[in-house]
Amino acid sequence: MTTPPTASRRDQLVGAKFTALVGDRVSSGEPPVGIGVGVAMLRGDTAWVMLDGATERGIGPALAWALRKGATRLVVLADTGVGALARRAQAFDFPIEVLAISGRDLHSVTPEPLATEATVPAAHLAFAATIEAAGAVPVLEFGVLMGEVAGLEVCRVVDDLNSGLARLDVGVGAHDRETFQMMHAERPVAEALRDVVVYVEQLRAPGVPAHPLNRLAASRLLRARLMADPSALDLEALLPAAPPTPRLNLKNEVPCAARTPDGSTVVVCSTGIDLDAVVFAADATLRHGAQRCLVVVPPRDLVDIQHRLAALVRIPTQLVAAPLAHVSA
């Protein structure tokens, strides 16, 4: 059985590929260094970064490294997701070039527009009243209607594989919904959902000890609390808004978005020190056509480099420390 390379060994392997790819494009100098999302090197006033593995959230860390090194230009190399990276790069008032890796060659990239968000079928929308009556918040994202409690998804409308009819499945995540369906198939769905809502509300209330259900979707928990009290941001109301791209699962922590009813302001909630949160925010602002964006993070997660990134976004973007009452689980 082959042992996977260690992080430092992996950086060396990727760095060797990086050096071979750029070839005579750059002068000699210090070897590439690992930066978490890949490897990077500074040549003159240009920062060169080659992303490794999952690249979709690489622009933020790459630009942060470039700024810290005093670069005035950034070149990003990647072999997947290059169209989306090029679109995100356009959001910044900073020269960023994205090059696609194709074998031993590098090619320029055309920015890829955001995918059109699918419409939620009318038969699915009919369940919104049931979700709301049970105490959950109806949320529409990429053609899917779900219900959230304190930011945690507790139900989702799906099409039955056998009948083709829409139905409301209760549970946290696909596996939980499947198990719940098998165990409580005879129980009225509205009644079952209400019980789940009450249970989750208790676990995700402020001051409750750590529990798996209050550690999931931390960014969405922050969004839920800001929606309940938008005055903390000097706003009158906030509505849930779809992210720039679909969320893959409940376990991976990613930022989330909300918007004012008039659509003028997008609020992006992020937890943890996420160097790509500002890039996500720029993409979310583009998706919803807003005139400004507030990126809200817990005070402990607010770092200076994020302010520098936000200052470079073409659409006015501001980092805001979330009031502590809105943060603790």
Structure confidence by residue, pLDDT tens digits, 280-301: 999 999 999 999 999 999 999 9
Number of domains forming the structure of the chain: 3
DSSP 56: T
**Confidence class for position 223, pLDDT limits 50, 70, 90:** very high
Query: Is 115 part of a structural domain of the chain?
Result: no
pLDDT value of position 1: 46
Q: Whole-model pTM?
A: 0.90
**Confidence class for position 17, pLDDT limits 50, 70, 90:** confident
66 and 18 housed in the same domain: yes
183 and 226 housed in the same domain: no
What is the residue range of 257's domain? 217-326
| Distance separating alpha carbons of residues 319 and 304, to the nearest angstrom | 10
296 and 225 housed in the same domain: yes
Query: Is 58 part of a structural domain of the chain?
Result: yes
Query: Is 165 part of a structural domain of the chain?
Result: yes
Phi/psi of residue 100, each to 5°? -90, 135
More confident call, 178 vs 5: 178
Most confidently modeled of 171-180, 198-207, 259-268? Answer: 259-268
Query: Is 117 part of a structural domain of the chain?
Result: no
Q: Which of 79, 108, 137 is the last residue of a domain?
A: 108
103 and 198 housed in the same domain: no
Q: What is the CA radius of gyration of the chain?
A: 22
**Category of 13 on φ-ψ map: left (φ > 0), alpha (ψ -120 to 50) or beta:** alpha
Q: Scanning the structure block, which residue is given the tokens 């900073």?
A: 94
148 and 247 housed in the same domain: no
| Distance separating alpha carbons of residues 39 and 48, to the nearest angstrom | 8
Structure confidence by residue, pLDDT tens digits, 49-58: 999 877 889 9
Per-residue burial over 65-75, b = 16 or more CB atoms within 10 Å of its CB, e = otherwise: bbbeeebeebb
Query: Is 31 part of a structural domain of the chain?
Result: yes
46 and 130 housed in the same domain: no
- CATH number for the domain spanning 224: value is 3.40.1340
